[in-house]
Amino acid sequence: MNVYLDYNATSKLRPEAITGMEKAMKLCGNSSSVHRFGRLARRAVEQSREALADAINASHDEVIFTSGGTESNNFALLGSRKKIIASSIEHDSVLQHVSESARIGVNNDGRIDLFHLEELLEKEKSSVIVSVMMANNETGVIQPIEKIVELCRRYDAWVHCDGVQALGKIPVSFSSLGVDMMSLSAHKLGGPQGVGALIIRDGVSLSPISVGGGQERGQRAGTENIIGIGGFGAVCETINCSLKLSESLLAMRDNIEKKLIKIAPDIAIYGKESPRLTNTSCIGLPGIKNEVQVMALDLAGVAVSSGSACSSGKIKPSHVLVAMGANSESAECAIRVSLGWDTSSFDCDSLIKSWEALARSRVEHKFHKSTVA
């Protein structure tokens, strides 16, 4: 059995992305060169830029290609040269720039506390940038970005949105959201790893953090990753197909949760009462550490994760779940199941069957301990 249910870490490559990358591999010119080969490479980059811009309702001039979401987050925050306020559930590439006192709280269902955000904004006398992700990578909880933008505008604060997990899963319109910047990554929606973008609203000026060349309109130095960009552009053309999958993924996700609750009524589904990505479920099974669950499921042929892929090697509770009010012991017992474009009902049934064996072993362990006592 070979079941992959870790799409929030990275999606399986879509065939369209492979085709786009293969086309780019046949180009030999540097996109900064003025000869015919360079112009062909430049055309390929600009076609991908247009495809991404069209997918998110942005201008192509607002798209700056990067190496991925982490670089885009760093570029947005460091390049702004402003005091940073961010939600307490952000990706580590954001939180490492934010002091504890400048982290916005969330409620028990994972939604940002707008009252706390306003308190933080009121305290700041200097220029501020507020960073809030559109959808959380661990729980799938979707944030009220429009309300956040409206509040920040009253305090003349910039807004950066990490949209990495949202793209291809929910409709994303850069112009409608009104944010100043948005980070994106190709490999979360079926594109290649190692390529992303920062969308910068017209009129917003950043200080480049990568210098030494005039690429990407002088915003990001270095020869463009033509192959990755080709795959990114190709997968952006499949956005509508990805969005149409949302309803079927919701049915599969809800069926998984319903059956797991029936097997073990004491489990926690984090963010269940909030709007969530239809493909994501964060499940806590009390009494069994998440790394034990992940390894047991892997041995059964089912791949899930214990949270953010960037933090999976760290032996500590999820900062996202702790911010939502979970104690450390509970947070250490949560796994993330994330479905994608190639997920089947067989995959879901395989997960349920394998996870049931885990839950049963927990009951047997408790019975054994009580008998010995």
> Which residues have a catalytic role annotated?
310
Buried b (16+ CB within 10 A) or exposed e, 323-353: bbebeeebbbbbbbbbbbbebeeebbebbbe
Residues 270, 324 contacting (CB under 8 angstroms): yes
Integer Cα distance of 27 and 48 in angstroms: 14
Q: Cα–Cα distances in Å, from 110 out to 136, 272, 325?
A: 9, 9, 9
Bridge-based pairing of strands 302-303 and 3-4 is: parallel
Residues 249, 348 contacting (CB under 8 angstroms): no
Residues 104, 88 contacting (CB under 8 angstroms): yes
Bridge-based pairing of strands 268-269 and 334-338 is: unpaired
Integer Cα distance of 326 and 266 in angstroms: 14
Integer Cα distance of 255 and 232 in angstroms: 32
Buried b (16+ CB within 10 A) or exposed e, 11-48: bebbebbbebbebbeebebbbeeeeeebeebbebbebb
Angle formed at CA 178 by CA 175 and CA 180, multiple of 5 degrees: 100
Integer Cα distance of 153 and 23 in angstroms: 43
